[in-house]
Amino acid sequence: MEQLIKNTSDRMEKSIGSLSIAFNKIRTGRANPSLLDDVKIDYYGNLTPLNQAANISVEEGRSLVISPWDKTLIPEVEKAILNANLGLNPSTSGDLIRVTMPVLTEETRQNYIKQARSEAENTRVSIRNVRRDGNNQLKDFLKEKEISQDEERQGEEQIQKLTDLFVEKVDTALEAKEKDLLDF
CATH number at residue 96: 3.30.1360.40
Last residue of a domain, one of 100, 116, 139: 100
How does pLDDT run across 71-91, given as a tens digit for each residue? 888 888 888 888 887 778 888
Instruction: Identify the pLDDT of residue 184.
Output: 58
Instruction: Identify the pLDDT of residue 30.
Output: 72
Does position 27 have pLDDT exceeding 80, yes or no? no
Q: Sorting pLDDT into bands at 50, 70 and 90, what band is 157?
A: very high
The winner for highest mean pLDDT among 66-75, 104-113, 147-156, 163-172 is: 163-172
Q: Are residues 169 and 120 in the same domain?
A: yes
Instruction: Identify the pLDDT of residue 25.
Output: 75
Q: Sorting pLDDT into bands at 50, 70 and 90, what band is 161?
A: very high
How does pLDDT run across 97-151, given as a tens digit for each residue? 988 887 778 888 888 899 999 999 999 999 999 999 999 999 998 898 888 889 9
Instruction: Identify the pLDDT of residue 125.
Output: 95
Instruction: Identify the pLDDT of residue 128.
Output: 95
Cα(1)–Cα(156) distance, rounded to whole angstroms?
11
* DSSP output for the chain: -HHHHHHHHHHHHHHHHHHHHHHHHS--SS--GGGGTT-EEEETTEEEEGGGTEEEEEETTTEEEEEESSGGGHHHHHHHHHHTTSS--EEEETTEEEEEPPPPPHHHHHHHHHHHHHHHHHHHHHHHHHHHHHHHHHHHHHHTTSS-HHHHHHHHHHHHHHHHHHHHHHHHHHHHHHHHHH--
Cα(23)–Cα(178) distance, rounded to whole angstroms?
10
Q: Sorting pLDDT into bands at 50, 70 and 90, what band is 53?
A: confident
Instruction: Identify the pLDDT of residue 6.
Output: 93
Last residue of a domain, one of 100, 117, 150: 100
Average pLDDT, the chain: 87
Q: Are residues 119 and 64 in the same domain?
A: no
Overall domain count for the chain: 2
Q: Which domain covers residue 136, as residue numbers?
A: 2-25+105-182
Mean pLDDT of 37-60: 85
Mean pLDDT of 146-170: 92
CATH number at residue 21: 1.10.132.20
Last residue of a domain, one of 65, 82, 100: 100
- Given a contact cutoff of 8 angstroms between Cβ atoms, the answer to whether 170 and 127 are in contact is yes
Q: Are residues 53 and 78 in the same domain?
A: yes
